[in-house]
Chains A and B, each alone.
Chain A
Amino acid sequence: MSDFLTQYAYLIIPIIKVLILVVIVLTVDAYLTWIERKLIAHIQARWGPHRVGPHGLLQPLADGLKFIFKEDPLPSHVDKVTYFLAPFLALMLALTSLGVIPFGPQRFKVFGYETGIAIADVNISLLVLFAITALAVYGVALAGWASNSKYSLLGGLRSSAQMISYELALTLSVVGVLLLAGTFSLRDIIEHQDNGNLGLLGWNIFGFSKDGAGFTQVIGFLCFYIAAIAETNRIPFDLAEAESELVAGFHTEYASMKFAMFFIAEYTSMITISCLATILFFGGWLSPFPASWTFTYYVPSVVLIPLGLWVIFDGLRYETLLGRVVLPGVGTVLAVIGVALIVFPPVNDAIQGVFWFLAKVFTFLFIYVWMRGTLPRFRYDQLMSFGWKFLLPVSIANVVLTSAVVLWRMH
Chain B
Amino acid sequence: MTGALVIFFALAALAVLGAISLIVQRHPIHSALSLIVVMVALAGLYLLMGAEFVAAVQIIVYGGAIMVLFIFVIMLLNAGEEERTNFSRLATFAGVPLALAVTGLIGAGIARSSASLPAPEPGGVLTSTRTLSTLLFSEFVYPFELTSFLILVAILGAIVLAQREN
Contact = CB atoms under 8 A, between A and B. Distances in A.
B71 interface: yes
Interface string A115-141: 000000011100110110111011001
B53 to A, nearest CB: 7
Interface stretch (A23-31, A158-166, A383-391): A158-166
A160 B71 contact: yes
Contacts of A194: none
Interface string B20-62: 0000000101100100100010010000000011001101100
Contact of A128 (B33, B56, B78, B129): B56
B65 A167 contact: yes
Secondary structure dominating the interface of B: helix
A181 to B, nearest CB: 12
B59 A135 contact: yes
Contact of B71 (A128, A138, A184): A138
Contact of A157 (B60, B65, B72): B72
B75 A153 contact: yes
Contact of A145 (B43, B56, B68, B75): B75
A164 B69 contact: yes
A133 B36 CA distance: 14
Given A79-B29, A156-B75, A137 B64 contact: yes
A82 interface: yes
Interface string A77-113: 0010110000000000000000000000000000000
Interface size class on chain B is: 20 to 34
A149 to B, nearest CB: 13
Contacts of B40: 135
Contact of A131 (B29, B63, B126, B128): B63
Interface residues of A, number: 29
> What does DSSP make chain A's interface, helix, strand, loop or mixed?
helix
B81 to A, nearest CB: 10
B115 interface: no
B76 interface: yes
A258 B153 CA distance: 45
A123 B30 CA distance: 34
A384 to B, nearest CB: 13
Given A124-B129, A157-B75, A184-B129, A82 B29 contact: yes
Contact of B64 (A124, A134, A145, A153): A134
A1 to B, nearest CB: 23
A164 B56 contact: no
Interface string A305-319: 000000000000000
16 contacts: A81-B30, A82-B33, A123-B128, A127-B52, A127-B53, A127-B56, A127-B57, A131-B63, A133-B64, A135-B59, A137-B68, A141-B71, A142-B29, A145-B71, A157-B76, A163-B68
| Closest 10 A/B residue pairs (Cβ) | A134-B64, A127-B56, A131-B59, A160-B72, A134-B60, A124-B52, A131-B56, A131-B60, A145-B75, A160-B68
Interface of A: 79, 81-82, 122-124, 127-128, 130-131, 133-135, 137-138, 141-142, 144-145, 153, 156-157, 160-161, 163-164, 167, 171, 184
